Each structure stands twice: as structure tokens, then as C-alpha cells.
Amino acid sequence: MRLKKFEFISPDSLKDVLQLMRKDGEKLKVIAGGTDLLVQMKDKLITPEKVVNLLNVPELSGVEKNGKGLRVGALTKHAVLESAPEVKEGWRILADAAHKVGSPQIRNLGTIGGNLCNASPAADTAPALLVLEAEAILVSQRGERRILLDSFFAGPGMTVMEKDEILKEIFLLEVPANSLGAYLKLGRRKSLDLALVSVAVLLTMDSGSGICQRARVALGAVSPVPMRAKETEKFLEGKELKESLIREAGEVAQKEFRPISDIRATAEYRREMVKVLAERAIKKSLGLPIPPTGI
């Protein structure tokens, strides 16, 4: 399928990108890996007059420890996230989620910025970043602003970014000591599929008593945007995570979400899988055995 004619621009500095965004924000789209944008352009869902290539902008690249956290440039590819020692050592749940994105070819093209800015409810990295309480750093000629990722998504395909803004980077604080996490993704196939339901769990445990001191739970593909399961988090905190309580936590998560039916799954199936995956993700976080699950 032929694309509608457009102007392709490759600036080599963030300053130049922001000038273009300020001048032509309504008419242009930015591109990095292109795994989402090119599909939408081929399907005529979007027809930009200009496409701005970000790959030559050094300010948007890099994964590095920064103060008490981790800076992840928006151009960071999923393949880098799944293998970078810094990510695997301190923020393992993000590496695990990045590994679930598409195929090796897609992970070597697609970027974390594209995965988030496309704002799919099923974005693989979103639940992991939500439980890590990531901050999105947005930038325009007016300056920078930082927002929690919890407030970044506005609806399917929509974010809170203004027309003249781009996502510069993601910042992650250090994970609390004695924290354990897991990411599970359920698809119709065993690989190369969007999530029907995905769950990320991050638990901070008291090493002496086995009490859950802090819980973060997030789900994808079961609401218009990836979301924290805050009632489930409250239910888990301050309790010893025995088998019966973990089952109950799955039921609490199930009641928090009202998924829709679509071409890939019914709402009833998704609601049941929220319970199953939440329970299994908690168990996996704790090192308990679970059946083979998802992709």
C-alpha cells in the first residue's frame, strides 16, 4: 500500500526538533523505530504532511544510572532494555516486560518512547513502568515538565502531551530494598501477539515477618488505559501473603476493572483472566510455583 506523500526531516539536535514542533506540531509526526507509525500511515489512519526522524538526536538516547534512579532515553530500544545490565540488576521487571514486546526484529526497532506515546491499552512496558512509579519527562520550547506515568495516558491512542511536546526520557527511582516483581502477559498466541490481559506486580516484603509492606499492581488491556490496581494494592499491604489471601487478592483485582469485549476477547473472559493472572503474578513475585502462563 502506497503512503501519501510527505516531507521527511532529520534534525540532529533536540533544539531543532522543538522548533519544528512549535511551528508545525499539527502537521507532523515524529518517528523513531516506526513500528506503530508506519502501520498507521499505511492504513491511512494518519496522514502527516511532515515526518520528523528522531534517531539522530543524541539528547533522546541512553540508559544510565542518574542520582538515585535510572534515566531511560525515549529512543531506547526494547532490545536494549531487555539486556542492559543496569536495567536487569535494579529494575528487572522492566527488562522482563521489554522482552515480551513483539519479535526480536521488532524489539531491535521499536523504542520505549514509541510504545508509550502510541498509548495502546495493551502496551507491554506500561504496566511495568506503572508499578515502578516512572516519571515521564516531556519537553517543548516552553521548557520541561515531569509527570507520573500514572497521569500520562488520556485514552486509547491519546496522551496528555501537547502538540508541541515530545517525550524526552523516563526516570525511575531506585526500587525499595527487599522488593520482588513479576510481569505476565496473556495473548491468543504463544508469541508475537498483543496482550489480552497483562499484569505487573512489585512487592516490598519485610524480610523477618514475611509481611507485605508495600504493593504495586498494574494491568494492561483491561481498561481504556493501562492502570494501577490501587484497591488490590491496599488489600495486600500489611498482610502475610498466604495462599488463601493471594486468591482473594485476585478477586479484588477482578472487581476493580470493567474490560470491554472486542475482536480479540470477550469482557467475561478478560475479567476471569484478571483474577487468574493477578494471582499468578503475585505468586511468581514471591517465588512460588505457577502453571505455564501466557506468552
CATH number given to 182-285: 3.30.390.50
Of residues 51, 22, 20, the one with CA closest to residue 34: 51
Please tell me the distance from the alpha carbon of residue 169 to that of residue 142, in angstroms, as a whole number: 17
| Lowest mean pLDDT across 36-45, 72-81, 196-205 | 36-45
Of residues 95, 152, 122, the one with CA closest to residue 273: 122
Confidence tier at 30 by pLDDT (50, 70, 90): very high
Confidence tier at 1 by pLDDT (50, 70, 90): low
Q: Which amino acid is at 14?
A: L
Of residues 258, 209, 214, 250, the one with CA closest to residue 233: 214
Question: How is the chain split among helix, strand and coil, in percent rounded to 5?
Answer: 35, 25, 40
What residue spans define the domains of the chain?
Answer: 7-51, 61-173, 182-285
pLDDT at 190 over 80: no
pTM attached to this predicted model? 0.94
CATH number given to 61-173: 3.30.465.10
Q: What confidence score (pLDDT) does residue 192 get?
A: 66
- Give the rounded percent of residues in the chain with a pLDDT score beyond 70: 99
Residues 135/147, Cβ–Cβ less than 8 Å: yes
Q: What confidence score (pLDDT) does residue 39 get?
A: 86
DSSP 211: B
The mean pLDDT value for 233-238 works out to: 98
